[in-house]
Structure 1
Amino acid sequence: MPPRLSPTVRQQRLGIELRKMREHAGMTPKAMAAALGTDVPKISQMENGKSGISADRLHSWAIASKCMNSDLVAALVAMTNDRRKYWWDSFQGRVPSGIIDIAEMEHHAESLTILHTTFIPGLLQTSRYASAVFARLRPPLPRHEVNTRTAFRVERQQVLTLKPYTAFIHEAALRMQFGGPDVLRDQLGSLLEDSERPGVEIRAIPFDVDTFPGSGESLYFATGAVPELDIVQIDLSQGPHFVHSTADLETYRGINSETAEKALTPEESRAFIHQIMTNLKG
Protein backbone atom coordinates (compact mmCIF):
# COMPACT_ATOMS: atom_id res chain seq x y z
CA MET A 1 0.00 0.00 0.00
CA PRO A 2 1.24 3.56 -0.71
CA PRO A 3 2.22 5.69 2.32
CA ARG A 4 -0.52 7.73 3.99
CA LEU A 5 -0.34 11.39 3.02
CA SER A 6 -1.91 12.71 6.23
CA PRO A 7 -1.82 10.22 9.13
CA THR A 8 -4.16 10.98 12.02
CA VAL A 9 -2.84 11.86 15.46
CA ARG A 10 -3.66 8.32 16.61
CA GLN A 11 -1.72 6.80 13.71
CA GLN A 12 1.20 9.12 14.43
CA ARG A 13 1.06 8.14 18.10
CA LEU A 14 1.40 4.45 17.25
CA GLY A 15 4.49 5.27 15.23
CA ILE A 16 5.92 7.40 18.04
CA GLU A 17 5.57 4.51 20.48
CA LEU A 18 7.32 2.20 18.02
CA ARG A 19 10.20 4.66 17.77
CA LYS A 20 10.39 5.02 21.57
CA MET A 21 10.52 1.24 21.88
CA ARG A 22 13.33 0.97 19.32
CA GLU A 23 15.37 3.83 20.78
CA HIS A 24 14.97 2.49 24.33
CA ALA A 25 16.65 -0.70 23.12
CA GLY A 26 19.48 1.33 21.57
CA MET A 27 18.65 0.06 18.08
CA THR A 28 19.21 2.05 14.90
CA PRO A 29 16.57 2.08 12.14
CA LYS A 30 18.98 -0.05 10.11
CA ALA A 31 19.20 -2.64 12.89
CA MET A 32 15.40 -2.76 13.22
CA ALA A 33 15.02 -3.12 9.46
CA ALA A 34 17.40 -6.08 9.53
CA ALA A 35 15.51 -7.68 12.45
CA LEU A 36 12.18 -7.38 10.61
CA GLY A 37 13.48 -8.24 7.17
CA THR A 38 12.56 -4.91 5.61
CA ASP A 39 14.31 -1.67 4.65
CA VAL A 40 15.08 1.57 6.48
CA PRO A 41 12.53 3.71 4.55
CA LYS A 42 9.78 1.29 5.65
CA ILE A 43 10.88 1.64 9.28
CA SER A 44 10.72 5.42 8.92
CA GLN A 45 7.24 5.27 7.41
CA MET A 46 5.96 3.09 10.27
CA GLU A 47 7.49 5.39 12.88
CA ASN A 48 5.94 8.54 11.41
CA GLY A 49 2.51 6.96 11.01
CA LYS A 50 2.57 7.02 7.21
CA SER A 51 2.55 3.22 7.00
CA GLY A 52 0.56 0.73 9.07
CA ILE A 53 2.02 -2.24 10.87
CA SER A 54 0.50 -5.69 11.26
CA ALA A 55 -0.02 -7.28 14.66
CA ASP A 56 2.56 -9.99 13.87
CA ARG A 57 5.17 -7.45 12.82
CA LEU A 58 4.43 -5.33 15.90
CA HIS A 59 5.10 -8.35 18.12
CA SER A 60 8.35 -8.92 16.22
CA TRP A 61 9.22 -5.24 16.75
CA ALA A 62 8.62 -5.59 20.50
CA ILE A 63 10.71 -8.77 20.69
CA ALA A 64 13.58 -7.15 18.77
CA SER A 65 13.35 -4.16 21.15
CA LYS A 66 13.31 -6.48 24.18
CA CYS A 67 10.14 -4.70 25.36
CA MET A 68 8.72 -6.46 28.43
CA ASN A 69 5.69 -4.16 28.82
CA SER A 70 3.02 -6.65 27.72
CA ASP A 71 0.15 -4.27 28.50
CA LEU A 72 1.61 -1.58 26.24
CA VAL A 73 2.24 -4.09 23.44
CA ALA A 74 -1.34 -5.38 23.72
CA ALA A 75 -2.68 -1.81 23.55
CA LEU A 76 -0.58 -1.07 20.46
CA VAL A 77 -1.76 -4.29 18.80
CA ALA A 78 -5.35 -3.22 19.44
CA MET A 79 -4.58 0.10 17.75
CA THR A 80 -3.08 -1.48 14.65
CA ASN A 81 -5.95 -4.00 14.37
CA ASP A 82 -8.59 -1.26 14.44
CA ARG A 83 -9.40 -0.46 10.83
CA ARG A 84 -13.09 0.29 11.18
CA LYS A 85 -14.86 3.26 9.67
CA TYR A 86 -16.21 5.78 12.16
CA TRP A 87 -18.84 8.49 12.03
CA TRP A 88 -16.24 11.24 11.70
CA ASP A 89 -14.93 9.75 8.46
CA SER A 90 -17.94 11.24 6.66
CA PHE A 91 -16.69 14.71 7.67
CA GLN A 92 -13.26 14.28 6.04
CA GLY A 93 -12.58 17.28 3.82
CA ARG A 94 -15.50 19.20 5.35
CA VAL A 95 -13.95 20.19 8.68
CA PRO A 96 -10.28 20.76 9.67
CA SER A 97 -8.31 17.58 10.32
CA GLY A 98 -7.47 18.76 13.84
CA ILE A 99 -11.15 18.71 14.79
CA ILE A 100 -11.45 15.15 13.50
CA ASP A 101 -8.38 14.19 15.55
CA ILE A 102 -10.16 15.42 18.70
CA ALA A 103 -13.18 13.22 17.98
CA GLU A 104 -10.89 10.25 17.38
CA MET A 105 -9.05 10.95 20.65
CA GLU A 106 -12.33 11.15 22.58
CA HIS A 107 -13.67 7.92 21.13
CA HIS A 108 -10.61 5.85 22.01
CA ALA A 109 -10.02 7.33 25.48
CA GLU A 110 -10.85 5.43 28.64
CA SER A 111 -11.90 8.66 30.38
CA LEU A 112 -11.83 12.39 29.65
CA THR A 113 -11.02 15.42 31.82
CA ILE A 114 -11.18 18.99 30.53
CA LEU A 115 -10.31 22.41 31.97
CA HIS A 116 -11.84 25.46 30.25
CA THR A 117 -11.54 29.10 31.24
CA THR A 118 -13.16 31.02 28.36
CA PHE A 119 -16.12 29.01 27.05
CA ILE A 120 -18.21 25.93 27.77
CA PRO A 121 -16.43 22.71 26.67
CA GLY A 122 -17.52 21.42 23.27
CA LEU A 123 -19.11 18.18 24.49
CA LEU A 124 -21.43 20.22 26.72
CA GLN A 125 -22.39 22.96 24.26
CA THR A 126 -25.88 23.43 22.90
CA SER A 127 -26.12 23.80 19.13
CA ARG A 128 -27.00 27.50 19.48
CA TYR A 129 -24.04 28.15 21.73
CA ALA A 130 -21.66 26.18 19.47
CA SER A 131 -22.88 28.07 16.42
CA ALA A 132 -22.27 31.38 18.20
CA VAL A 133 -18.73 30.31 19.13
CA PHE A 134 -17.89 29.35 15.54
CA ALA A 135 -19.50 32.53 14.19
CA ARG A 136 -16.98 34.62 16.15
CA LEU A 137 -13.87 33.04 14.60
CA ARG A 138 -11.63 35.39 12.63
CA PRO A 139 -11.56 35.57 9.72
CA PRO A 140 -15.31 34.84 9.71
CA LEU A 141 -16.44 31.45 8.47
CA PRO A 142 -19.09 31.13 5.75
CA ARG A 143 -22.47 30.17 7.19
CA HIS A 144 -22.34 26.66 5.69
CA GLU A 145 -19.00 26.02 7.45
CA VAL A 146 -20.43 27.25 10.75
CA ASN A 147 -23.35 24.84 10.31
CA THR A 148 -21.05 21.92 9.42
CA ARG A 149 -18.76 22.50 12.41
CA THR A 150 -21.76 22.84 14.70
CA ALA A 151 -23.22 19.57 13.42
CA PHE A 152 -19.86 17.87 13.94
CA ARG A 153 -19.61 19.18 17.50
CA VAL A 154 -23.11 17.97 18.35
CA GLU A 155 -22.29 14.54 16.87
CA ARG A 156 -19.21 14.34 19.11
CA GLN A 157 -21.43 14.52 22.17
CA GLN A 158 -22.52 10.89 21.80
CA VAL A 159 -19.24 9.97 23.55
CA LEU A 160 -20.70 11.25 26.84
CA THR A 161 -22.78 8.07 27.07
CA LEU A 162 -19.73 5.85 26.66
CA LYS A 163 -17.13 6.89 29.27
CA PRO A 164 -16.48 9.01 32.38
CA TYR A 165 -16.20 12.73 31.67
CA THR A 166 -15.11 15.47 34.08
CA ALA A 167 -15.27 19.16 33.18
CA PHE A 168 -13.64 21.90 35.24
CA ILE A 169 -15.24 25.16 34.08
CA HIS A 170 -14.09 28.57 35.27
CA GLU A 171 -16.66 31.20 36.21
CA ALA A 172 -15.43 33.36 33.31
CA ALA A 173 -16.60 30.67 30.89
CA LEU A 174 -19.92 30.37 32.70
CA ARG A 175 -20.55 34.11 32.24
CA MET A 176 -19.21 34.64 28.71
CA GLN A 177 -22.25 35.49 26.58
CA PHE A 178 -21.59 33.87 23.21
CA GLY A 179 -24.76 34.54 21.24
CA GLY A 180 -26.24 36.80 23.94
CA PRO A 181 -28.03 36.24 27.27
CA ASP A 182 -30.79 34.02 25.89
CA VAL A 183 -28.28 31.60 24.37
CA LEU A 184 -26.25 31.56 27.59
CA ARG A 185 -29.35 31.00 29.70
CA ASP A 186 -30.28 27.93 27.64
CA GLN A 187 -26.67 26.77 27.76
CA LEU A 188 -26.49 26.96 31.55
CA GLY A 189 -29.79 25.08 31.82
CA SER A 190 -28.39 22.37 29.54
CA LEU A 191 -25.25 22.27 31.67
CA LEU A 192 -27.34 21.59 34.77
CA GLU A 193 -29.13 18.76 32.97
CA ASP A 194 -25.81 17.26 31.83
CA SER A 195 -24.48 17.43 35.40
CA GLU A 196 -27.15 14.90 36.42
CA ARG A 197 -26.14 12.38 33.74
CA PRO A 198 -24.38 9.19 34.87
CA GLY A 199 -20.63 9.43 34.37
CA VAL A 200 -20.63 13.20 33.84
CA GLU A 201 -19.08 15.41 36.52
CA ILE A 202 -19.17 19.20 36.15
CA ARG A 203 -17.16 21.28 38.62
CA ALA A 204 -17.08 25.07 38.65
CA ILE A 205 -14.12 27.26 39.59
CA PRO A 206 -15.34 30.63 40.99
CA PHE A 207 -13.47 33.90 40.50
CA ASP A 208 -12.57 33.99 44.20
CA VAL A 209 -10.58 30.75 44.03
CA ASP A 210 -6.82 31.33 44.29
CA THR A 211 -4.82 31.04 41.07
CA PHE A 212 -4.55 27.40 40.06
CA PRO A 213 -2.11 25.58 37.74
CA GLY A 214 -3.17 25.61 34.11
CA SER A 215 -5.39 28.66 34.57
CA GLY A 216 -4.01 30.22 31.40
CA GLU A 217 -4.70 27.21 29.19
CA SER A 218 -7.57 25.05 27.99
CA LEU A 219 -6.48 21.48 28.68
CA TYR A 220 -8.11 18.24 27.57
CA PHE A 221 -6.69 15.07 29.16
CA ALA A 222 -7.58 11.71 27.62
CA THR A 223 -6.49 8.56 29.43
CA GLY A 224 -5.38 5.69 27.24
CA ALA A 225 -5.68 1.93 27.63
CA VAL A 226 -2.32 2.16 29.45
CA PRO A 227 -0.73 5.27 31.04
CA GLU A 228 1.90 5.40 28.30
CA LEU A 229 -0.89 6.18 25.80
CA ASP A 230 -2.42 9.10 27.69
CA ILE A 231 -2.63 12.30 25.65
CA VAL A 232 -3.34 15.99 26.27
CA GLN A 233 -4.94 18.30 23.75
CA ILE A 234 -4.36 22.06 24.06
CA ASP A 235 -6.27 24.77 22.19
CA LEU A 236 -4.06 27.12 20.17
CA SER A 237 -5.07 29.85 17.73
CA GLN A 238 -3.54 27.72 14.93
CA GLY A 239 -5.67 24.73 15.94
CA PRO A 240 -5.50 21.84 18.42
CA HIS A 241 -2.08 20.75 19.68
CA PHE A 242 -1.49 17.26 21.08
CA VAL A 243 1.05 16.52 23.84
CA HIS A 244 2.23 13.06 24.88
CA SER A 245 5.80 13.23 26.22
CA THR A 246 6.28 11.45 29.54
CA ALA A 247 7.35 14.64 31.35
CA ASP A 248 4.44 16.72 29.98
CA LEU A 249 1.89 14.04 30.84
CA GLU A 250 3.13 13.94 34.42
CA THR A 251 2.86 17.73 34.62
CA TYR A 252 -0.72 17.72 33.38
CA ARG A 253 -1.70 14.90 35.72
CA GLY A 254 -0.51 17.15 38.54
CA ILE A 255 -2.53 20.07 37.16
CA ASN A 256 -5.65 17.91 37.12
CA SER A 257 -5.11 16.87 40.73
CA GLU A 258 -4.52 20.42 41.96
CA THR A 259 -7.50 21.75 40.00
CA ALA A 260 -9.71 19.09 41.60
CA GLU A 261 -8.63 20.37 45.02
CA LYS A 262 -9.53 23.99 44.11
CA ALA A 263 -12.84 23.45 42.29
CA LEU A 264 -16.28 23.30 43.86
CA THR A 265 -17.84 19.89 44.40
CA PRO A 266 -20.41 18.71 41.81
CA GLU A 267 -23.25 19.60 44.20
CA GLU A 268 -21.81 23.05 44.97
CA SER A 269 -21.22 23.58 41.26
CA ARG A 270 -24.86 22.90 40.39
CA ALA A 271 -25.97 25.50 42.93
CA PHE A 272 -23.35 27.94 41.65
CA ILE A 273 -24.39 27.52 38.00
CA HIS A 274 -28.06 27.82 38.94
CA GLN A 275 -27.35 31.10 40.72
CA ILE A 276 -25.59 32.52 37.68
CA MET A 277 -28.53 31.49 35.50
CA THR A 278 -31.00 33.04 37.94
CA ASN A 279 -29.12 36.33 37.99
CA LEU A 280 -28.98 36.29 34.20
CA LYS A 281 -32.77 36.02 34.04
CA GLY A 282 -33.05 39.12 36.19
Structure 2
Amino acid sequence: MALRPNPTLRQRRLGTELRRIREQAGIGGSELARELGIHATQVTQMESGRSGISVERLRTIATVCMCTNQPLIDAMAAIATERGKGWWEEYRNTLTTDFLEVAELEGHAEKISFCNTVYLPGLLQTRSYASAMFARLVPPLPPQEIETRTVFRLRRREVLEATPARAFIHEAALRMQFGGPAVLLEQLAALLNDSERPGLSIRVVPFAVDTFPGAGENLTYVEGPAPELDTVQMDISPGTLFFDSPANLAKYRTIFSSLDASALSEEQSRDFIRSIMKEM
Protein backbone atom coordinates (compact mmCIF):
# COMPACT_ATOMS: atom_id res chain seq x y z
CA MET A 1 0.00 0.00 0.00
CA ALA A 2 1.42 3.38 -1.04
CA LEU A 3 2.15 5.86 1.72
CA ARG A 4 0.05 9.01 1.92
CA PRO A 5 2.23 12.08 1.36
CA ASN A 6 -0.28 14.38 3.10
CA PRO A 7 -2.69 12.49 5.37
CA THR A 8 -5.88 14.33 6.23
CA LEU A 9 -6.78 15.56 9.69
CA ARG A 10 -9.07 12.56 10.18
CA GLN A 11 -6.44 10.08 9.02
CA ARG A 12 -3.89 11.61 11.38
CA ARG A 13 -6.39 11.47 14.23
CA LEU A 14 -6.95 7.75 13.70
CA GLY A 15 -3.19 7.27 13.92
CA THR A 16 -3.01 9.36 17.08
CA GLU A 17 -5.65 7.21 18.78
CA LEU A 18 -3.81 4.03 17.75
CA ARG A 19 -0.68 5.41 19.41
CA ARG A 20 -2.60 6.38 22.56
CA ILE A 21 -4.09 2.89 22.86
CA ARG A 22 -0.61 1.39 22.56
CA GLU A 23 0.98 3.81 25.03
CA GLN A 24 -1.80 3.35 27.58
CA ALA A 25 -1.01 -0.36 27.52
CA GLY A 26 2.68 0.36 28.11
CA ILE A 27 3.65 -1.33 24.86
CA GLY A 28 6.47 -0.01 22.68
CA GLY A 29 6.23 0.34 18.92
CA SER A 30 8.73 -2.45 18.30
CA GLU A 31 6.91 -4.77 20.67
CA LEU A 32 3.59 -4.15 18.92
CA ALA A 33 5.25 -4.75 15.56
CA ARG A 34 6.48 -8.16 16.76
CA GLU A 35 2.99 -9.08 17.95
CA LEU A 36 1.57 -8.13 14.55
CA GLY A 37 4.39 -9.73 12.56
CA ILE A 38 5.29 -6.49 10.79
CA HIS A 39 8.24 -4.09 10.73
CA ALA A 40 8.41 -1.36 13.37
CA THR A 41 8.36 1.31 10.65
CA GLN A 42 4.89 0.13 9.65
CA VAL A 43 3.63 0.87 13.16
CA THR A 44 5.09 4.36 12.88
CA GLN A 45 3.43 4.85 9.50
CA MET A 46 0.03 3.75 10.81
CA GLU A 47 0.32 6.00 13.86
CA SER A 48 1.25 9.01 11.73
CA GLY A 49 -1.67 8.43 9.36
CA ARG A 50 0.65 7.90 6.43
CA SER A 51 -0.59 4.37 5.83
CA GLY A 52 -4.07 2.93 6.12
CA ILE A 53 -5.12 0.12 8.41
CA SER A 54 -7.63 -2.68 7.96
CA VAL A 55 -10.42 -3.19 10.47
CA GLU A 56 -9.04 -6.64 11.22
CA ARG A 57 -5.62 -5.25 12.09
CA LEU A 58 -7.16 -2.42 14.11
CA ARG A 59 -9.12 -4.88 16.23
CA THR A 60 -6.03 -7.03 16.64
CA ILE A 61 -4.13 -4.02 17.94
CA ALA A 62 -6.96 -3.28 20.36
CA THR A 63 -6.77 -6.87 21.64
CA VAL A 64 -2.97 -6.80 21.99
CA CYS A 65 -3.20 -3.46 23.82
CA MET A 66 -6.02 -4.73 26.06
CA CYS A 67 -8.36 -1.95 24.94
CA THR A 68 -11.94 -2.87 25.85
CA ASN A 69 -13.51 0.48 24.92
CA GLN A 70 -15.83 -0.97 22.27
CA PRO A 71 -17.50 2.32 21.23
CA LEU A 72 -14.06 3.82 20.58
CA ILE A 73 -12.86 0.76 18.67
CA ASP A 74 -16.01 0.74 16.53
CA ALA A 75 -15.67 4.47 15.80
CA MET A 76 -12.03 4.01 14.80
CA ALA A 77 -13.02 1.08 12.57
CA ALA A 78 -15.55 3.32 10.82
CA ILE A 79 -12.83 5.91 10.14
CA ALA A 80 -10.50 3.21 8.83
CA THR A 81 -13.06 2.05 6.26
CA GLU A 82 -14.01 5.51 4.97
CA ARG A 83 -13.73 5.95 1.22
CA GLY A 84 -14.37 8.87 -1.04
CA LYS A 85 -13.63 12.55 -0.59
CA GLY A 86 -15.55 15.38 1.01
CA TRP A 87 -16.66 18.44 -0.96
CA TRP A 88 -13.82 20.46 0.59
CA GLU A 89 -11.28 18.44 -1.41
CA GLU A 90 -12.36 20.45 -4.47
CA TYR A 91 -10.45 23.35 -2.92
CA ARG A 92 -7.22 21.49 -2.08
CA ASN A 93 -5.16 23.35 -4.67
CA THR A 94 -6.97 26.64 -4.08
CA LEU A 95 -7.08 27.20 -0.31
CA THR A 96 -4.63 26.43 2.48
CA THR A 97 -4.90 23.21 4.46
CA ASP A 98 -6.39 25.02 7.48
CA PHE A 99 -9.59 25.76 5.57
CA LEU A 100 -9.97 22.17 4.40
CA GLU A 101 -9.29 20.66 7.82
CA VAL A 102 -11.89 22.84 9.53
CA ALA A 103 -14.51 21.78 6.97
CA GLU A 104 -13.46 18.13 7.33
CA LEU A 105 -13.77 18.34 11.10
CA GLU A 106 -17.24 19.89 10.88
CA GLY A 107 -18.32 17.46 8.17
CA HIS A 108 -17.84 14.46 10.46
CA ALA A 109 -19.12 16.08 13.67
CA GLU A 110 -21.82 14.62 15.88
CA LYS A 111 -22.34 18.01 17.54
CA ILE A 112 -20.60 21.38 17.34
CA SER A 113 -20.20 24.03 20.07
CA PHE A 114 -18.82 27.53 19.52
CA CYS A 115 -17.41 30.12 21.89
CA ASN A 116 -16.80 33.44 20.12
CA THR A 117 -15.47 36.63 21.64
CA VAL A 118 -14.37 38.77 18.69
CA TYR A 119 -16.42 37.77 15.65
CA LEU A 120 -19.37 35.50 14.96
CA PRO A 121 -18.94 31.77 14.23
CA GLY A 122 -18.03 31.11 10.61
CA LEU A 123 -21.02 28.81 10.14
CA LEU A 124 -23.37 31.66 11.08
CA GLN A 125 -21.83 34.44 8.99
CA THR A 126 -23.59 36.17 6.11
CA ARG A 127 -21.88 36.67 2.77
CA SER A 128 -21.27 40.38 3.41
CA TYR A 129 -19.94 39.80 6.92
CA ALA A 130 -17.62 36.97 5.85
CA SER A 131 -16.35 38.93 2.86
CA ALA A 132 -15.65 41.97 5.05
CA MET A 133 -13.72 39.83 7.50
CA PHE A 134 -11.46 38.50 4.76
CA ALA A 135 -11.10 41.97 3.21
CA ARG A 136 -9.68 43.38 6.46
CA LEU A 137 -6.59 41.13 6.45
CA VAL A 138 -3.10 42.59 6.17
CA PRO A 139 -1.57 42.39 3.63
CA PRO A 140 -4.82 42.64 1.65
CA LEU A 141 -6.04 39.62 -0.28
CA PRO A 142 -6.79 39.80 -4.02
CA PRO A 143 -10.54 40.13 -4.76
CA GLN A 144 -10.71 36.60 -6.23
CA GLU A 145 -9.14 35.14 -3.08
CA ILE A 146 -11.68 36.96 -0.92
CA GLU A 147 -14.50 35.59 -3.07
CA THR A 148 -13.15 32.02 -2.95
CA ARG A 149 -12.81 32.09 0.83
CA THR A 150 -16.27 33.60 1.22
CA VAL A 151 -17.95 31.01 -1.00
CA PHE A 152 -16.13 28.25 0.88
CA ARG A 153 -17.27 29.61 4.25
CA LEU A 154 -20.88 29.86 3.09
CA ARG A 155 -20.79 26.30 1.80
CA ARG A 156 -19.69 25.09 5.22
CA ARG A 157 -23.10 26.19 6.54
CA GLU A 158 -24.64 23.11 4.93
CA VAL A 159 -23.46 21.04 7.89
CA LEU A 160 -26.08 22.76 10.07
CA GLU A 161 -28.82 21.01 8.12
CA ALA A 162 -28.00 17.71 9.81
CA THR A 163 -25.67 18.47 12.73
CA PRO A 164 -26.87 19.95 16.05
CA ALA A 165 -24.91 23.01 17.15
CA ARG A 166 -24.83 25.58 19.91
CA ALA A 167 -23.11 28.95 19.95
CA PHE A 168 -22.06 30.99 22.97
CA ILE A 169 -21.41 34.48 21.64
CA HIS A 170 -19.92 37.24 23.76
CA GLU A 171 -21.48 40.69 23.55
CA ALA A 172 -18.20 42.03 22.16
CA ALA A 173 -18.55 39.79 19.10
CA LEU A 174 -22.11 41.06 18.56
CA ARG A 175 -20.96 44.67 18.56
CA MET A 176 -17.70 44.31 16.62
CA GLN A 177 -18.12 45.72 13.12
CA PHE A 178 -16.67 44.33 9.92
CA GLY A 179 -17.74 46.30 6.87
CA GLY A 180 -19.78 48.93 8.71
CA PRO A 181 -23.16 49.25 10.47
CA ALA A 182 -25.27 48.01 7.55
CA VAL A 183 -23.29 44.77 7.32
CA LEU A 184 -23.59 44.20 11.06
CA LEU A 185 -27.34 44.90 11.07
CA GLU A 186 -27.85 42.38 8.28
CA GLN A 187 -25.68 39.89 10.17
CA LEU A 188 -27.56 40.32 13.44
CA ALA A 189 -30.89 39.90 11.64
CA ALA A 190 -29.59 36.67 10.09
CA LEU A 191 -28.44 35.53 13.52
CA LEU A 192 -31.96 36.04 14.87
CA ASN A 193 -33.37 33.94 12.05
CA ASP A 194 -30.78 31.22 12.66
CA SER A 195 -31.68 31.17 16.36
CA GLU A 196 -35.11 29.80 15.42
CA ARG A 197 -33.68 26.87 13.47
CA PRO A 198 -34.26 23.40 14.93
CA GLY A 199 -31.08 21.91 16.34
CA LEU A 200 -29.32 25.26 16.68
CA SER A 201 -28.99 27.09 20.00
CA ILE A 202 -27.64 30.66 20.10
CA ARG A 203 -26.93 32.19 23.50
CA VAL A 204 -25.31 35.48 24.44
CA VAL A 205 -22.76 36.11 27.17
CA PRO A 206 -23.19 39.82 28.03
CA PHE A 207 -20.57 42.20 29.40
CA ALA A 208 -22.57 42.19 32.65
CA VAL A 209 -21.48 38.66 33.51
CA ASP A 210 -19.18 38.94 36.55
CA THR A 211 -16.48 36.65 35.17
CA PHE A 212 -16.32 35.53 31.56
CA PRO A 213 -15.81 31.76 31.76
CA GLY A 214 -14.56 31.30 28.21
CA ALA A 215 -11.14 31.56 26.64
CA GLY A 216 -9.81 34.72 25.01
CA GLU A 217 -9.69 32.98 21.65
CA ASN A 218 -12.55 31.84 19.44
CA LEU A 219 -13.13 28.14 20.08
CA THR A 220 -15.00 25.32 18.43
CA TYR A 221 -15.60 22.06 20.28
CA VAL A 222 -16.47 19.22 17.91
CA GLU A 223 -17.90 16.04 19.36
CA GLY A 224 -17.02 12.77 17.66
CA PRO A 225 -18.78 9.38 17.69
CA ALA A 226 -16.89 8.58 20.91
CA PRO A 227 -15.77 11.13 23.56
CA GLU A 228 -12.13 10.20 22.97
CA LEU A 229 -12.51 11.41 19.38
CA ASP A 230 -13.67 14.93 20.30
CA THR A 231 -11.56 17.80 18.97
CA VAL A 232 -11.05 21.44 19.92
CA GLN A 233 -10.32 23.96 17.19
CA MET A 234 -8.86 27.35 18.11
CA ASP A 235 -8.58 30.32 15.76
CA ILE A 236 -5.41 32.38 16.13
CA SER A 237 -3.91 35.06 13.88
CA PRO A 238 -1.36 32.79 12.13
CA GLY A 239 -3.90 30.05 11.46
CA THR A 240 -5.81 27.24 13.15
CA LEU A 241 -4.82 24.99 16.04
CA PHE A 242 -6.34 21.61 16.90
CA PHE A 243 -6.27 19.97 20.35
CA ASP A 244 -7.30 16.41 21.13
CA SER A 245 -5.35 15.28 24.19
CA PRO A 246 -7.51 13.97 27.07
CA ALA A 247 -6.31 16.84 29.30
CA ASN A 248 -7.24 19.51 26.75
CA LEU A 249 -10.62 17.93 26.03
CA ALA A 250 -11.40 17.88 29.77
CA LYS A 251 -10.34 21.52 30.09
CA TYR A 252 -12.56 22.76 27.27
CA ARG A 253 -15.52 20.63 28.34
CA THR A 254 -15.30 22.48 31.67
CA ILE A 255 -15.17 25.84 29.88
CA PHE A 256 -18.26 25.07 27.82
CA SER A 257 -20.06 23.80 30.91
CA SER A 258 -19.34 27.14 32.60
CA LEU A 259 -20.55 29.02 29.53
CA ASP A 260 -23.77 27.03 29.61
CA ALA A 261 -24.33 28.12 33.21
CA SER A 262 -23.48 31.80 32.58
CA ALA A 263 -25.04 32.64 29.22
CA LEU A 264 -28.49 34.13 28.75
CA SER A 265 -31.30 31.80 27.76
CA GLU A 266 -32.16 31.48 24.07
CA GLU A 267 -35.14 33.85 24.33
CA GLN A 268 -33.21 36.34 26.46
CA SER A 269 -30.43 36.18 23.88
CA ARG A 270 -32.83 37.00 21.05
CA ASP A 271 -34.10 40.00 23.03
CA PHE A 272 -30.51 41.08 23.69
CA ILE A 273 -29.61 40.93 19.99
CA ARG A 274 -32.71 42.96 19.14
CA SER A 275 -31.70 45.59 21.70
CA ILE A 276 -28.28 45.96 20.04
CA MET A 277 -29.94 46.37 16.65
CA LYS A 278 -32.17 49.15 18.03
CA GLU A 279 -29.11 51.00 19.33
CA MET A 280 -27.50 51.12 15.89
**TM-score of the alignment, normalized to the shorter chain, above 0.5:** yes
How far has the Cα of 1:187 moved from its partner? 0.4
Question: Counterpart of 2:113 in 1: which secondary structure?
Answer: strand
Segment drifting more, 189-198 vs 212-221: 212-221
Match of 1:157 in 2: 157
Equivalents in 2 of 1:171, 1:26: separation in Å?
47
Per-residue deviation at 1:158? 0.4
Residue equivalent to 2:19: 19
Amino acid at match of 1:160: L
Matched residue of 1:73: which SS? helix
Do residues 226 (structure 1) and 220 (structure 2) align?
no
Residue of structure 2 equivalent to 1:42: 42
Task: Read off the aligned partner of 2:272 and give its amino acid letter.
Answer: F
Q: CA deviation at 1:60?
A: 1.3
Query: Residue in 1 aligned with 2:276?
Result: 276
Instruction: In structure 2, list runs of 5 or more residues that go unmatched.
Output: none
Percent sequence identity is 50
1:100 aligns with 2:100: yes
In structure 1, how many angstroms separate the alpha carbons of the residues matched to 2:51 and 2:210? 48
Offset at 1:30? 1.1
Provide the residue aligned with 2:86 in structure 1: 86
**Could you tell me how far apart the structure 2 residues matched to 1:265 and 1:6 are?**
43
Distance 1:148 1:23, change over 3 A: same
Q: Distance in 2 between matches of 1:130 and 1:31?
A: 51
Following superposition, the deviation at residue 24 of structure 1 comes to: 1.4
Partner of 2:201: 201
**Residues 217 and 236 of structure 2 are in contact (CA less than 8 Å); yes or no, is this contact kept in structure 1?**
no
* Aligned counterparts of 1:236 and 1:4: Cα–Cα separation in 2: 28
1:49, 1:136 → 2: CA distance?
Answer: 36
- Distance in 1, Cα, partners of 2:178 & 2:244: 32
SS of the residue 1:27 aligns to: coil
The separation in 2 between residues aligned to 1:45 and 1:163, in whole angstroms, is 32
Unpaired stretches in structure 1, ≥5 consecutive residues = none
1:115 matches 2:154: no
**Higher mean C-alpha deviation, range 12-21 or range 30-39:** 30-39
Report the alpha carbon displacement of residue 239 of structure 1 after superposing the two structures with TM. 0.8
Deviation at 1:140, TM superposition (A): 1.5
Cα deviations by residue, 1:183-205 (Å, 9 ceiling, x for unpaired): 11100000000000000100011
Computed over aligned residues only, the root mean square deviation of the Cα atoms, in angstroms, reads: 1.0
